[in-house]
Structure 1
């Protein structure tokens, strides 16, 4: 099946072009439904869908966290985003999702970290140290990322793609940041640090979402969170290793603890906001450089830079209360953009 938009040759049975996201018109749905994968997807989809609510109240959004969930529900979440399982825009629900899987992932990460901690602290086995640093660094950023993945109502991004963005996007954004730091080495301060790191993440996020395949606000929010999660985790692992090399084992645990507690409102949320703002201004249009100077994008990007600069500002008594305030402020904007993303889906459903 050759895409009429980008001439990419796709396998038979896909709903949209794997390369550019162009939607195909189905001429023989019966053939698709006979495939084993489609039968499995249909069966899993019979599991009661997550109840949704229009009001973004915390008791509504997080109401399913403490309920029992079957493995079938988790399996249904993990098969979304492929060319065969991505729903049409008319099938997408434009009310508030109720995520729950992120909480289970956090518990699993805590159990793994506890195991590594016992191995290092109680048994004194240095072989457990790399696992301690890796799991400790990734636990909270990945948990926050899973939350954004569950909030991606279009369900058009597969989990393997998210893992790819975390690893490649995380290291790429760090390398770009180092380039900016080298350029600004004579004027390093909280403001230039904020500019360098947020600009590096913005460039990386835009490189992933500039194609029309990821054109929704919620897509930008998710891809941005993936880049930010990679950046945050790799950075935390680096600081933890520095603490270990300094000979202060207690400082290693303190570094992982505090950076883990503050991770949801730092790099993950900031990169998510940048990605959502970019997708909001680009929409269905091809990428153009003038998109980056539009007011709706710049106001979010400058807000992110400002919050990052305030985060790093060495004000007496700032830590941790100032960071807590910035986390709350970041997530207020996150929820506002989630609302805008759901509204966007509602408008597209009407036009479809």
Structure 2
């Protein structure tokens, strides 16, 4: 087999991974529904939570084959970095974000979770001797997708549990939704942060709090907060522009009126518009940083 053929086979591995994983997830869901065997539920949760994140990490690594990143380091970033990020964020959020105002809560979650993932990436990559922006973006994506995978598993478990036993439909719905959105969420935000972190070490060989890193952290935390508050913002806009006189009276008295069918539809549309705007903005930033890194990342 020629070298070119070997490269094509290697770089197509992520497609096979996704197709086989998707088939196994569907089969697991169907068999679980048909047999009503709760022993299979962890399989459905794990496959659904980790399929898309691991596929994107594999694809990202294959696009940078030959860089200073090893498969072991990428896997370490995904598992160790992801778990550390989730644990650190959970501890800080529990300690600081209790009973606060909604706006401050969303902003706090964005700041805390992006800081937790950045700290996890910093720890995972602390022994690296060569730092390029693109390697930082790949490793950051691995940490972000690991964070998203473990977080999705938690959300899926919460959706599964119900008063009547377990709700398989709710579990599948949350896994599909979060899998579709995960590439433009945690993985993207931490990829951009990882690039800025590694860029800070190109001159001295050591990570430092550069101006670019601080500004990038604040920007990604802002995108995270906007993403989380999309539904709330959509509801506020809906009430402001479409509330009838009787609904306004109830709102002024501190009571929440029942929305009309048209208002529910409008709120849903606005939510997806906000999410789309945040996703497009993040992808644009990531694309610009990735292309700009061509001249920076000169092979050692």
Q: Sort the TM-score into its range (normalised by shorter chain).
A: 0.7 to 0.9
2:181 equivalent in structure 1: 262
Residue 292 of structure 2 corresponds to residue 340 of structure 1: yes
Q: Distance in 2 between matches of 1:143 and 1:324?
A: 22
The question of whether the paired residues in 1 share the 8 Å contact of 2:97 and 2:108 is answered with: no
| 1:122 and 2:34 correspond | yes
- Alpha-carbon separation, structure 1, partners of 2:92 and 2:31: 39
CA displacement at 1:100 relative to structure 2: 4.3
Where does residue 271 of structure 1 map in the other structure?
190
Give how far 1:116 is off. Answer: 0.7
Match of 1:323 among 254, 275, 287: 275
Write out aligned runs for 1:52-131 (5 A): 72-73=6-7, 77=10, 100-131=12-43
Question: Helix, strand or coil: the match of 2:114?
Answer: helix
1:174, 1:231 within 8 Å by CA — same for their partners in 2?
Answer: yes
- For structure 2, the residue ranges without an aligned partner over 5 or more in a row are 235-266
* Root-mean-square deviation (Å): 2.1
Q: What does residue 240 of structure 2 align with? A: none
Distance 1:155 1:122 in 2: 46
Q: How many residues get paired? A: 257
Shift of 1:108: 1.9
The aligned runs of 1:150-299 (5 Å cut-off) are: 150-152=62-64, 154-186=66-98, 187=100, 189-246=105-162, 247-287=166-206, 291-292=208-209, 294-299=210-215
Q: Which has the higher helix share?
A: 2
Query: 1: distance between equivalents of 2:273 and 2:167?
Result: 25
Cα distance in 1 between the residues matched to 2:79 and 2:176? 22
Aligned partners of 2:16, 2:293: CA distance in 1, in Å? Answer: 25
In 1, distance between residues paired with 2:273 and 2:32? 31
Counterparts of 1:183 and 1:214, CA distance in 2:
36
Q: Deviations over 1:174-233 (max 9, x none)?
A: 111122213312336110010111110011111223444340111111111111111100
Q: Give the C-alpha shift of residue 284 in structure 1.
A: 4.4
Greater relative CO, 1 or 2 (CA 8 Å, sep 6+): 2
User: Which consecutive aligned stretches of 4+ in structure 1 deviate over 6 angstroms post-superposition?
Assistant: none
How far apart are the structure 1 equivalents of 2:14 and 2:286? 17
Displacement of 1:132 in angstroms is 0.6
Normalised to the residue count of structure 1, the TM-score between the two structures is 0.68
Q: Is residue 2:246 matched to residue 1:312?
A: no
Cα deviation for residue 255 of structure 1 reads: 0.4
Q: Distance in 2 between matches of 1:287 and 1:338?
A: 21
Measured after TM superposition, the shift of residue 107 of structure 1 is: 1.4
2:250 corresponds to:
none
Quote the Cα distance in structure 1 between the aligned partners of 2:130 and 2:16: 27
TM-score of the pair, normalised by structure 2: 0.79
CA deviation digits over 1:260-300, x for unaligned, max 9? 10000111111111111111122141325xx21x2211221
Does the Cα contact within 8 Å between 2:77 and 2:143 map onto a contact in 1?
yes
| SS of the residue 1:283 aligns to | coil
Q: Distance in 2 between matches of 1:295 and 1:172?
A: 25
